[in-house]
Structure 1
């Protein structure tokens, strides 16, 4: 029998930490390879984590709701057979931990090990001094039973914790000597440090606050997950690509009428005005390929993509996410409607996989769903254009040389002015508007 630590794997997309959304097992449970053991919330999605071993759960190193650095111990497994330090060709070997759907198979032996980051490197997102170190794996992390006198000796010099937590504590200004550890064996966790830091910050705020009547209290919302990733991406985009914006307001009554007819003809397909806006974008981009492009700084090239992967921004309980319809330009209107509806529904359930939120080449966002007429959207990093569709409102409008009540919408477009100039942006926006004003004109863009 041996004890094996399972480290939080790299879930891809350059992520350095994840939150334990929920445990699907408990200490003492017996699990099998590929059994779902936890739901992990990354900066992009809620994903299921499979077990890399057959064995018994001995220790859970993190609590639900806590944030764990990539490479940090997550679970201690008790395995049947093998030694505590298995040699090549014998005992139990670690299988490469990956996402559900790509997990290790029982047949065929263990997956090859790969280079991992050290404790310092696992916290590279917050420590500028972190560096790559030599190859290591779970065997390099001593278990509670084998740490022995080395841990006792260290405890006399400094509180027992991990390097990433020490770095986090320094950033928060927290003295670890006064922190009570709630981890296994009294280990000080990131959550312990955060709790002390927040308590200190709250105390300072209360000392400076002016008393007020009532029972209202300040609300603290942790910056993590989707919101943290969105903030980082939007900041990077706003200060990297020179944004410019244009607007156009149009009569979309014919589009509204088309949507009504299509719903009657295809009741099982969710067709909306946004479906027509999406199709209009795809058609217009064929005439103005610079709106479906990328600025490659390293190669000093502008890449105009051969296909359009359309990102569709969706508001969810976890924040703004942008699932991507791959090769949207090759789809017919009904297939496009089904693809968008499926991705948005999955996003709002918090089940979108990272692969479904990457690879976008241009983006559509619907601000009209919130009752907003127009805005200046920020580009998705790496893309050259984003279109925001405003609310459809019944307004007095000139029609056939008379004033009539018509369905009116405002389109807002932001673009990377390094790639798209004013003439190109205007042509694209007017082409989209022409299709929405009279869907029959789409035939002229094919």
Structure 2
């Protein structure tokens, strides 16, 4: 029995997602809930589980394609007796542009959430049909068309006749995309005519150029590729990268924040030698060595304690309701720089955690973010954020507030330098703190007092014992 799986609403209200990579290929047998693909939304990379157990008959998008929510993503044969699929049904972006598309009646329903199965069939929704190039197919291709199901076949780019897409694995296709290599031009040396990683690397080394097929060059819709310098064009001066996914979302959020919330930034340089000594003693404790407690964890604890005394920094401006919402909990955002852009997952109810628990939570969020596995829900509902620019050797900056929050604290680099200490000059560990806050919610006095409270704890961690 044939089943189509449509790209579901991933729980974020976003209209589309970019296909990062397929983890299955046409002809593979998959189990229920097996991960079949990775897609990137404007917030995170999400793994898609299979809603069916069966054989993959068609892949309706290629890595790099932007797929609308509700569009057919993959087709399955869930029972015996179904016709065999075409050798490879992956659709390339250039093939989409070169072919003529038409639609017929197909199921209509709202896309469902991941893990809840494919959308039920009903009438009234356009259904994907096979795309045939404008030139006449050879006799062998016509036979394939007649033998296979109409919806299971997708034709690749053609010049003089319809041709089969080169066979390769998802990692190899991803490598080819990164190197700007057209797989149709690569000679396969693998078993059964499969293109290997070595084939792609050898071709890239031999020609060293971004190849665009003639059909793609003539199409009305340009093919988006990275513009890489060529050996015979060493003067190439630009590289173009599509603005998508997390980077687009981050840019839009920062612009919205910068031009909506009136930012004020205040700075304070503080002697954190006592905090450095505390961290060194905790790391020397064998029972705590695996927890990797650092200045970020101590600062997070200090922020949680200071927010309890200054609730204005833990509030939200609700313009639609005409209200200021004061939170009685702290969902602490931790800014993490990743290859896909800046993400700010948050630690839920951070005020309830010990220093060790905060260190573990920060480490877990950072590792997940850098691997691109942060769940969209983990980046929602933050109330205050911290960013550590000190890891890049920067002393201070003016951080932009995460939308929906009242403030963000930037930690500068800890530097050993001469500093006044007990009436004398001594070498001390010194750090600059930068607090940006929404002036609609917090005035200068409140922001300054909050920053001083955080600095006092970092200056003398024992003072935390006096706060609640």
Give TM-score scaled by structure 2 length.
0.70
The answer to whether the Cα contact below 8 Å between 1:227 and 1:318 also exists between their aligned partners in 2 is: yes
Structure 1 residues 335-350: aligned runs within 5 Å: 335-350=357-372
SS at match of 1:57: strand
By how many angstroms is 1:286 displaced?
0.4
Among candidates 307, 312, 315, match of residue 293 of structure 1: 315
By how many angstroms is 1:400 displaced?
0.7
Structure 1 residues 194 and 281 mapped into 2: Cα distance closer, same or farther (>3 Å)? farther
Name the residue aligned to 1:414: 436
1:164-219 Cα offsets, whole Å, 9 max, x none, are xxxxxxxxxxxxxxx9479xxxxx8xxx8241x779xx8xxxxxxxxxx9544411
Structure 1 residues 2-401: aligned runs within 5 Å: 3-80=2-79, 98-99=113-114, 103-104=115-116, 140-144=126-130, 180=215, 193-195=221-223, 214-265=234-285, 266-401=288-423
Name the residue aligned to 1:403: 425
SS at match of 1:268: helix
The answer to whether the Cα contact below 8 Å between 2:112 and 2:118 also exists between their aligned partners in 1 is: no
SS at match of 2:386: strand
SS at match of 2:291: coil
Residue correspondences, number: 357
SS at match of 1:220: coil
Structure 1 residues 45 and 378 mapped into 2: Cα distance closer, same or farther (>3 Å)? same
By how many angstroms is 1:263 displaced?
0.9
- What stretches of structure 1 of length at least 5 have no aligned partner? 84-91, 105-109, 114-134, 148-178, 183-187, 203-212
SS at match of 1:141: strand
C-alpha separation in 1, matches of 2:460 and 2:14: 45
C-alpha separation in 2, matches of 1:198 and 1:38: 21
SS at match of 2:303: helix
The answer to whether the Cα contact below 8 Å between 2:108 and 2:124 also exists between their aligned partners in 1 is: no
1:340-359 Cα offsets, whole Å, 9 max, x none, are 11111111111111122221
State the Cα RMSD in Å.
3.0
The answer to whether the Cα contact below 8 Å between 1:308 and 1:327 also exists between their aligned partners in 2 is: yes
C-alpha separation in 2, matches of 1:294 and 1:264: 40
By how many angstroms is 1:241 displaced?
0.9
Structure 1 residues 247 and 216 mapped into 2: Cα distance closer, same or farther (>3 Å)? same
The answer to whether the Cα contact below 8 Å between 1:41 and 1:225 also exists between their aligned partners in 2 is: yes
SS at match of 1:369: helix
1:279-324 Cα offsets, whole Å, 9 max, x none, are 1101000000010111111111101111000000011122211111
- What stretches of structure 2 of length at least 5 have no aligned partner? 83-106, 131-148, 152-213, 228-232
By how many angstroms is 1:77 displaced?
2.5
SS at match of 1:267: helix
SS at match of 2:405: coil
By how many angstroms is 1:17 displaced?
1.8
